[in-house]
Chain A
Amino acid sequence: MNGAKASSVRFATAVFVSPYDSCCARLVKGSTTIVKAILVGALPLMFAGCTTLKLPPFEPMPLDAYANRQTKEGLTIGLRPLTDPKECMKYFGTDLSAKRVLAVDVSAFNAGPASYVLARDKCSLQGPILAAAGSRVLGSEHAGGTLTGVGGGVFLLSPVAGVALFGVGVKEGSDATVINESYRDKELQVHTLSPSGAVRGCLYFRLPQTGTLPDRCRLHLEVVELKTKAVTTFDFEIQSH
């Protein structure tokens, strides 16, 4: 309270006292006080903007820990829909469900003697839904460009506020690249599951943009045995949001 009072007194002094200062000088002195006030307000914003967003890889998780799992022909597949916004924020830097994207953490281990391929294009979410989500659906890499520009513009009026906005713009752009990179890095890719081989990654499904989502849906996976070309199917009932 005292600080605020002192600040306002100093501001008044700068503008209205000093009869021998030129009008311009008075204006500048007033401006520097305003700048200091803005600086104090902008500092947390500027410091917050100085760190790069860190998104960790998935923590190791044994297949037994997956509540949803099946074993066929020696091949065990476990999966876990990532519907908790906090968990999504931790690993993806954004709430996927708010963007109507369902991420499913898929883990597989081959304890059998044959080799398999888990083909991504054979994976589908069945129900009154859906199509596989494409890459780069999360952060926009254009993010930050506008704010950076606005920051430059505001700099003309107030240097500190301008620098702060410029920093926020750069931060936003940096975050977008980190989010996109992490999203694609965690995506399940095509692998041969050799005997004793394991794979893990996320399948992404775009949910309908409007309307009420069903609580549960069916996830269909197909695995092809390399030598015989025999197809083994896995169907899971999962929570969709």
Chain B
Amino acid sequence: MLKLDIPPVTEERMLVHRAIARDSEAFAELYDRHVVRVYRHIYYIINDQKEAEDLTAQTFLQAWEAIGRFQPRGAPFASWLLRIAHNLAVSHLRARKGDAQLHESLVDDGLPRNPEAVVERQAEEERVRRAVLRLGDDQRQVIILRFVEELDYKEVAEILGKSVAAVRVIQHRALCALRKIMKVEEVA
């Protein structure tokens, strides 16, 4: 049988078009491609495995319900999904009373350190994480994909449908915005 070599981006576009036409098999394939990234994005915000799973499921359910409104010529599907995930996670965080949990991943990296310095460092990391949640969609997605997911510029550019140069500019603006947010918090 003839096997066509279809580029991944084109293949994804075809899946999205089929999903818009209510093809649940196509949507399930999109789910397979993006579920881990969506989960990790939510986990970064929520820091709870069970809640992150529930919100991940909810993200895909909402996406399935809204897929008819998705504009294939606009932002890529992954970026659209991550925006839904972020909005759900932040709403959930607001509903949760207080958010004093520190990230498990931030608590111990196995390095022997001065305990006071460790606590101070964890508090700083937590402040930055909270500041990240206040960034706009593009800036937040670039920061999470670059620094939390450790993707290179080309990978981030592909996911967000932007050029590498644009990703670098957004990265710079995002770090400047984080600096500003943290400065304002310090004064307050």
Do these two chains interact? Answer: no
Contact surface of B with A, Cβ cutoff 8 Å:
none
Contact surface of A with B, Cβ cutoff 8 Å:
none
